[in-house]
Structure 1
């Protein structure tokens, strides 16, 4: 049967509508969103340890908090270098984008700090924001510029806002891997180490790169025209982005679900005993929602 343009358009829109409804029903019920606490100033950077506990930052108050698998909140660390994005390495160290002095930190379980990155060729980074660690222990970081009221400087020392890679065990060898984005922010890689997703929040686009040898990135592909503050993936390959609530795209870049949340939604990750609870940081609050999928490392 030959369809008219109008009929084809209607069929396409119906297909998208059904995909979104189907995706939401499969992954989560937005009505199950649970407020954990709204006692913070601005929450960011959730990261999950091997047990399923979530570590996250309250950046204006310079604290890292824990939301454990029993549902309890506690302070892990004060004076965190204004930590923003967080990620656990394979040794259990918490890697932190500490943008008070535009550094990258490694924090062990006893709260001992090792500074991994302090500058790039003698110039301060803009402010490491988010990160992902590959299977070899190499670290990708996004470096957008957001003027902080606790900085003395009033402009960046670097010309562009880029994505960098630090090879494992070579903390002083920070390498430029993406230099043509407007304002990179959210970042996450696939567990098989094949792909890296980078959100250009300044240009409202999210790209997928192929990870090549030595951490280099090739074959850039536009996934969808939407940027993101923070990102995560589930074991079905779906991509979770933040900003206006949480929006979920399938591996082909088609939107399949959305969680509306009042205020700016900064970041997201999976945690809990089964890694099936989605943990969301949103301005002064943190939330969880049960899902039918699981997070990936």
Structure 2
């Protein structure tokens, strides 16, 4: 497929880094621009990052070795948030018809979720695959101009977080008291899940039960987020106005400014998982880090 790579550009901006999590002398690098709105970065086992240009209905691939961007999939179901399974399946929150899709390595897809209790979902937005199995996803309501055959009102009773069992036989709500859940990420030991309620400008931390249900909700920080990721030390990366990093106690330890109107999402890429890959409006960026991401 045709490459879209056009070069890189560095940005020397003042990065607030209280704990030294950014690599020494590292600068934010613009990898590619010319998109409409980038989202949903997901890293495969080779360190390549797949991301969406949601308004243009495409999924792109950033090659971690060549630093080149190419088109992976056209007509991608208006995919938003994405995440890889260990077998290479790419799961996507496809809000063209308010579904969950799964892509194989050739870009062929199948639909995994079409509704909840016989009614359309609001529009799956972001997701996290639990290492022990199962998928958590957020379902906020963002009415889309491209929706056909449905109203712009919610068919669900609220904007919730759902859990899909590993065998895909069970789908149930696990958080039903949020204003507008969006970003979501869990810890690699499957014990905790972070959910951003962007509508309330807060992020919460939950304990994860073996059966997928969430318990012991607690406020993590007074900030909402579009997309989220986590590193090996348990630091949580929130997005919106640049990237803001909190330690596991909910204390802000870093802020990474990004020259874009909105920073939508973030993930750790490259084989060593030390490249922070940032999707921000019409462009994607990288920044070298000391800490590794988890996958």
Query: TM above 0.5, one fold?
Result: yes
C-alpha separation in 2, matches of 1:96 and 1:246: 23
Q: CA RMSD in A?
A: 1.4
Asked if 1:174 corresponds to 2:176, the answer is no
C-alpha separation in 2, matches of 1:29 and 1:147: 43
Structure 2 residue aligned with 1:114: 110
Q: Determine helix, strand or coil for the equivalent of 1:60.
A: helix
Q: Determine helix, strand or coil for the equivalent of 2:211.
A: helix
Structure 2 residue aligned with 1:206: 203
Do the aligned partners of residues 148 and 234 (structure 1) sit closer, same or farther apart at CA in structure 2, a change above 3 Å counting?
same
Structure 2 residue aligned with 1:96: 92
Structure 1 residue aligned with 2:254: 257
Do the aligned partners of residues 268 and 29 (structure 1) sit closer, same or farther apart at CA in structure 2, a change above 3 Å counting?
farther
Asked if 1:215 corresponds to 2:212, the answer is yes
Q: CA deviation at 1:267?
A: 0.2
Q: Determine helix, strand or coil for the equivalent of 1:86.
A: strand
Q: Which has the larger radius of gyration?
A: 1
Q: Which has the higher helix share?
A: 1
Structure 1 residue aligned with 2:20: 25
Asked if 1:127 corresponds to 2:126, the answer is no
Cα offsets for 1:145-186 (capped at 9, x unmatched): 001110132211112000000001124x21110000000000
User: Displaced runs of 4+ in structure 1, greater than 6 A?
Assistant: none
Q: Determine helix, strand or coil for the equivalent of 2:91.
A: strand
Q: CA deviation at 1:24?
A: 5.5
Q: When the two structures are superposed, what TM-score results if normalisation uses the length of structure 1?
A: 0.90
Structure 2 residue aligned with 1:3: none
Structure 2 residue aligned with 1:136: 132
The number of aligned residues is 277
Structure 2 residue aligned with 1:52: 47
Cα offsets for 1:204-236 (capped at 9, x unmatched): 000110001210100111011000000000001
- Structure 2: give runs of 5+ residues left out of the alignment: 1-14
Q: CA deviation at 1:25?
A: 3.3
Q: Determine helix, strand or coil for the equivalent of 2:18.
A: helix
